Amino acid sequence: MIDQNIIEAAHKACEADRAKTQANHQVSQQEKVFAKVKRHIIPIAILGLFVAFIDRTNLSVAGHSMSDSLSLSPAAFGLAAGLFYLGYILTEVPSNIALRRYGARRWIARIMISWGAITMLTMFVNTAESLYVARFLLGIAEAGFYPGILFWMSFWLPSRSLTRAYSLFQLGIPISLALGSLVTAQLLRMDGLGGIHGWQWVFLIEGGAAVLMGFFTLKYMANSPSEASWLSQDEKQILNEALKEDAAAVHEPDSGHSKALREIFSSGAAWAYSACYLFMMIGFWTVTYWLPQILQDRLQVDTVQAGVWSAVPWVISGLSLLIVSKRIEKGASLEKAMVAVLFFCAIGFVLSSLATSATVAFIGLCMAACIQAAVPLLFSFPSRHFDGARAAVALAMVNSVGSLGGFIGPVLLGWMKGATGSNQAGLLAMAGAFVIAGLIAAMLPKILSAAKAKSIAQP
């Protein structure tokens, strides 16, 4: 006769196997739905980002031609590049709050149409002062797009899938900078066509593309899974359950906008993210806006050729982004990867500054452009640390403070170039910015642990 204990043990083992099989099946079903969501939302996000960064940075390739037409000094060019970010910072947080209120589809479409129209009007600037106004207004118009897209993606995917999604989205930046450099360089060849300058054609055509993209977004973008016609009811249910489980794992409750603002601005962790991103962006936007002119000086090429060569560092930047995101997927430490990337980029700026060889200097600029690989790693922290209205405010705050780097970096390099007659001192200063960002990134685990302990201790 079989022992009753053996029967019960065998029954429990069968139940455990059945539960494990069901859990594995559920995870498999979820992963299939997540993959489908990524295939639908990431292309729209990348396409929008592509147009945004072309319109934001076309000044870098067209700048030399504009400097001739408008008599811009290096300091004036740096100021024009940087003023975009002052307008951006002033309206970043209100814009992201408005997105939560009016919905991603309508608000992001409004942002695109606005910045496209202002980009088109930039073709009419005829003095340094009018260019300053145009760049400032462009910053106001585009404010909220980048963190808004990040926030919109959090409506579709749980936190465990967001880092990879953010990395794929971030890949749109080096792609847009590479292709944008090539496209803008070719548009400059239209100089004299219709009696207008090549740089005017750049703003007219690339601004028009943003307006068209805005209307495309208005028609095809869905605010949330419940509005997605391409998801079946079963898929929506699987996705909603996964998102609810993810929200339940967050200990901190959602809050209103006013309370969220107070909580985020008093959060030491949010300021740590912001400071790190600030120094990252000081270096990034400097290389973005000054790269074509630096290459023109170092490689002794014309404006169009410099625009073509400018695509190479951004191709390498995109590859670095893929490599780093793959390592994170395989279990590498976020913090260690960030620190490694930041110090690697700092070394690149040092090489580009001190090298006497044009080839070595170019390699250094390619290394510095790899800063993009660190950005999604940083943005995954506030996305996981905060939720609801606080997530929207935190992302906007980090992006706004970081955007100050877009003002500080180009202006600083322009001023240093005007004062010294070369880019050397300015590039060394940018290397220092990356080193500071790397030191802050190294402290993030301790900062976050303290913030978590504080939130648990509070009733």
> Residue 26: what pLDDT?
58
Domains, in order of start, for the chain: 41-243+255-457 (1.20.1250.20)
325-338 tens-digit pLDDT: 888 877 777 788 99
User: Can you give the pLDDT at residue 280?
Assistant: 95
Q: Is the pLDDT of residue 392 over 50?
A: yes
Residue that the structure tokens 């000094």 belong to:
73
Confidence at residue 68, expressed as pLDDT on a 0 to 100 scale = 84
Q: State pLDDT tens for residues 232-270.
A: 888 888 888 888 876 665 544 555 556 777 778 777 788
Highest mean predicted confidence (pLDDT) among 109-123, 174-188, 417-431: 109-123
Indicate the average pLDDT of the chain.
84
Cβ(58)–Cβ(202) below 8 Å: yes
pLDDT in tens, 204-235: 999 999 999 999 998 888 888 888 888 888 88
SS3 helix, strand, coil % of the chain, rounded to 5? 85, 0, 15
Compute how many other C-beta atoms are within 10 angstroms of the C-beta atom of residue 256.
10
The residue that leads in pLDDT, 11 or 364, is: 364
Nearest 5°: the CA angle 217, 308, 431 is 90
The Cα–Cα gap between 378 and 441 comes to: 8
Using N-to-C axis directions, what is the helix angle for 198-220 and 104-121, rounded to 10°? 170
Measured between alpha carbons, how far is residue 32 from residues 127, 248, 406, 412 in Å?
Answer: 55, 22, 39, 48
Q: 366: pLDDT confidence band, cut at 50, 70 and 90?
A: very high
Distance between start and end Cα atoms, the chain: 58
**pLDDT value for 225:** 87
Report whether pLDDT(198) > 50: yes
